Amino acid sequence: MSLDDIKETFFAECADQMAELETGLHEIQSSGPDIDTVNAVFRAVHSIKGGAGAFGFAALVSFAHVFENALDVIRNDLNQVNEDRMDLLLRSVDVLSDVIEAERTGSEPDDTSGLANDLETAFGLAEAAEDADDGDDALADFAPVMIDLADLGVAGTPAGGSFHISFAPHASLYLKGHDPLRFFRELADLGTLSVTCDTTDLPKLSELSPDESYLKWQIDLETESAREDIEAIFDWVDGECALSIEETGAPAADDGASLDAFLQSLDESDGGIADIDDFGRDPEMEPADAANPVADLIGSLEAADIGAPARQVEEQADAGNSDDGSEDAGARAGKKEVKKASQTIRVESEKVDRLINLMGELVINQAMLAERIGQAGFGNASPAALALVELQNLTREIQSGVMAIRAQPVKPVFMRMSRIIREVCSATGKKAMLELEGEHTEVDTTVIEGLIDPLTHMIRNAVDHGIEDPEKRQAKGKPTHGTVKLSAYHSSGRIVIEIKDDGAGINRERVLSKAIEKGIVARDAKLSDDDIDNLIFAPGFSTAETITDVSGRGVGMDVVRQSIQALGGRVNISSEPGHGSLFSMSLPLTLAVLDGMIVKEAGQTLVLPVSAVLETATLKPGDVYTIGKNNRVVKMRNQLIPIIDVGRQLGFADKRTDFTKGTIMVVEGGKNGMGAFLVDSIEGQQQVVIKSLESNYKRVPSIAAATILGNGQIALILDCDHIVSHQASDPDTAVIQSMAG
């Protein structure tokens, strides 16, 4: 793994941390601070800072540092949370995310010092900032230790002299994994060393305790290094030993002394009791065991004495168990670990895409197999046909399994919207809160990706045009904070996402007059309230002059509708003046496979999404009425539904003369109402794999995609919404021709 890969990991992890951070702060905002959430939030920023430091992202480190300090204030005292501070923290999330993005793309990050100052002021970090400087000093303080180490090999300044060092480790030094020998080795690197081991405190064997420290050392060092270099070696054992370093000035008495001599002395001092060599190790090569000579000694004696190393192992095992069992924290940690085991694995999306493609091929293949079995004349009850049914069931299960891999909760997208709301609020001076519902609802990742832009625009719109100014809200007796509620749920194989605001609702009078002014509707048109509300989606309705800075960005609601339709979705609005609006969009759960109704029309095989078909009926002569010159409707369940002559509408069939034959399929076309699609016959229903046409043919009106049927034939999947909404206009005769070309 290269550093670039790790950098990629870092940014991927940043995204996770940002999500964690945003979720956490949101939680704190809505249900008050609790220490676990605050800790998680703190950790997220802390991790980002840590990683950023590793890659030298200075701007990111410095802002994350202030952010972290602010969170630390809350971490230390949960009562420190207040509304202004929360606002600042949430703004910091946005800025942090911008800085991360800037570092990722290698662009210059925006200046964050303004917000950093605000944070420092609001959280009383002015003092802490000084502390932080101290911290940096401490870091600098610390850093020389490392640099000195680096200097060791280079053998430093001519500041040296002779030193007498007296070194008496406390028992705690051994307990922290230190090995006295290592200090001698490092000292030996500084110059000429003479070490004497003082064993006078060593008690009789019977009184010897493995937990005590008995040995002391007197060291004479002649070196060119400075005193600090010597102190640095003992830096990590500050407080773990009695240490004195005296500059004697004069050359050390024992010139020939060396590490070897010391090792010998150590050997000698131990020699009478136990030989290190007994452990089968060369003391010079593996001096480790000298770290705990006493403990090792006792261990070996016990082993020899009782001759039961097995028992020792047992004890250790027991100790291990009781360690975990007796302590609450341990048990808790253990439980969490079990939970973690079933968490997640990371898979490249490419691999999943491949699986999905193969899945599609399997579905096609299965359809072909079904076709062959039919052609071979096997009956429905034949073993071959039954086996096919099994296969179909399995395929379906595998398919939903594969789809589940790609399914993601909408939460990350929803969380993003809270930022949008904050941005719009700060730009407009309005106050609004985001409320989430069903954010764990899952949908295919491609759908999620396509959702971001339209959702962003609708949220902006909801705050900018929907929510009133705080004063106005107050005057109306509403809470000053507006609420935008974002919810998601599954409904008959689709995901429905709703954006509900408690603002002013749509000003129908203004919408209508603007629509008339723009020539979108006729001056004398009679429109229902619903129709007027939906005018905001009409192409050309929103123009630059009607859009504020916030909602602007050159996109109108018609583009929002288009992008949702491109995902196979539809969008609706309903509004209650004075009480707010509800945007509701419904999208397919996946963009890979759909349940299709296979129909024949004028020799062509077409596919309609089953989810769009409300009912089917055979046309009877008395059901058809002609309205006006050429418009035919069918009366079904006391409702008049316009008949859409599909072949004619798509331009590949001549105008139908006989409206008494054929099959009617009542299709739901979003807010455009319903249409009765007239076709020759229904062939059946099957799962079809969606093959996009856009990459080869661009977007073809009225056609959503294509698919391959069991017999290998290619069939077009109809875009029902588009057909229903364009039924009145002239049939687009170019459709089929352009595709043939």
Place of tokens 């005292």: 77
Using the rule CB under 8 A, give the single segment among 260-268, 270-278, 291-299, 496-504 that binds another protein.
291-299
Find the binding residues for another protein in span 174-193 (CB under 8 A). 174-179, 182, 186
Residues contacting residue 189 through CB under 8 Å, at least 6 positions apart: 152, 153, 155
Neighbouring C-beta atoms of residue 368, cutoff 10 Å: 15
Nearer to another protein, 200 or 344 (CB): 344
Find the binding residues for another protein in span 348-377 (CB under 8 A). none
Q: Can you give 224-286 as a three-state secondary structure string?
A: CCCHHHHHHHCHHHCCCEEEEEEECCCCCCCCCCCHHHHHHHHHHHHHCCCCHHHHCCCCCCC
Place of tokens 């069992």: 325
Closest approach of another protein to the CB of residue 199, in Å: 22
Q: Which of 54, 306, 308, 614 binds another protein (CB under 8 A)?
A: 54
78 by Cβ neighbours in 10 Å (0-12 / 13-18 / 19+) ranks as: middle
Q: Which of 329, 381, 544, 728 binds another protein (CB under 8 A)?
A: 329
Binding mask 114-133 for another protein (x = CB under 8 A): -----------------x--
Largest pairwise CA distance in the chain: 124
Closest approach of another protein to the CB of residue 135, in Å: 5
Vertex 101: Cα angle to 99 and 106 (nearest 5): 95
Nearer to another protein, 174 or 583 (CB): 174
Closest approach of another protein to the CB of residue 9, in Å: 5
DSSP strand pairing (580-588 vs 593-601): unpaired
Nearer to another protein, 47 or 97 (CB): 47
Closest CA to 168 of 136, 211, 131, 216: 216
Give the relative orientation of helices 411-428 and 445-461 as an angle to the nearest 10 degrees: 20
Element containing residue 685 per DSSP (H, E): strand 681-689
Closest approach of another protein to the CB of residue 53, in Å: 4
Closest approach of another protein to the CB of residue 34, in Å: 14
Neighbouring C-beta atoms of residue 654, cutoff 10 Å: 9
Query: Does 347 interact with another protein (rule: CB under 8 A)?
Result: no
Find the binding residues for another protein in span 203-262 (CB under 8 A). 236, 238-240
Using the rule CB under 8 A, give the single segment among 9-17, 453-461, 592-600, 688-696 that binds another protein.
9-17
Query: Does 475 interact with another protein (rule: CB under 8 A)?
Result: no
587 and 497 in contact (C-beta within 8 Å)? Answer: yes
Q: Which of 15, 80, 135, 527 binds another protein (CB under 8 A)?
A: 135
Q: Contacts by 9-13 with C-beta closer than 8 Å and gap 24+?
A: 10/51, 10/52, 10/54, 10/55, 11/100, 11/104, 13/47, 13/51
Nearer to another protein, 49 or 422 (CB): 49
Nearer to another protein, 346 or 526 (CB): 346
Binding mask 96-115 for another protein (x = CB under 8 A): --------------------
Task: Please tell me the distance from the alpha carbon of residue 246 to that of residue 364, in angstroms, as a whole number.
Answer: 86
307 by Cβ neighbours in 10 Å (0-12 / 13-18 / 19+) ranks as: exposed
**Under rule CB under 8 A, how many of the chain's residues touch another protein?**
59
Q: Which of 35, 250, 304, 333 binds another protein (CB under 8 A)?
A: 333
Closest approach of another protein to the CB of residue 213, in Å: 13
Using the rule CB under 8 A, give the single segment among 156-164, 318-326, 527-535, 656-664 that binds another protein.
318-326
* The token pair that represents 397 in the structure block: 């299960």
Q: Contacts by 520-529 with C-beta closer than 8 Å and gap 24+?
A: 529/575
Cα dihedral angle (12, 16, 19, 22), rounded to 10 degrees? -100
Query: Does 440 interact with another protein (rule: CB under 8 A)?
Result: no
The DSSP symbol for 704 reads E
Closest approach of another protein to the CB of residue 193, in Å: 17
Closest approach of another protein to the CB of residue 191, in Å: 18
Neighbouring C-beta atoms of residue 364, cutoff 10 Å: 19
Find the binding residues for another protein in span 14-43 (CB under 8 A). 39-40, 42-43
Find the binding residues for another protein in span 137-176 (CB under 8 A). 138-139, 142-143, 146-147, 149-150, 174-176
* The token pair that represents 119 in the structure block: 């944070």
β-bridge partners, 631? 627
Q: Which of 22, 28, 41, 51 binds another protein (CB under 8 A)?
A: 51
Task: Please tell me the distance from the alpha carbon of residue 717 to that of residue 605, in angstroms, as a whole number.
Answer: 9
Residues lying near another protein in the complex (CB under 8 A):
1, 3, 5-6, 9-10, 12-13, 39-40, 42-43, 46-47, 49-51, 53-54, 56, 131, 135-136, 138-139, 142-143, 146-147, 149-150, 174-179, 182, 186, 236, 238-240, 288, 291-292, 295, 315-316, 319-320, 323, 329-330, 333-334, 336-337, 340
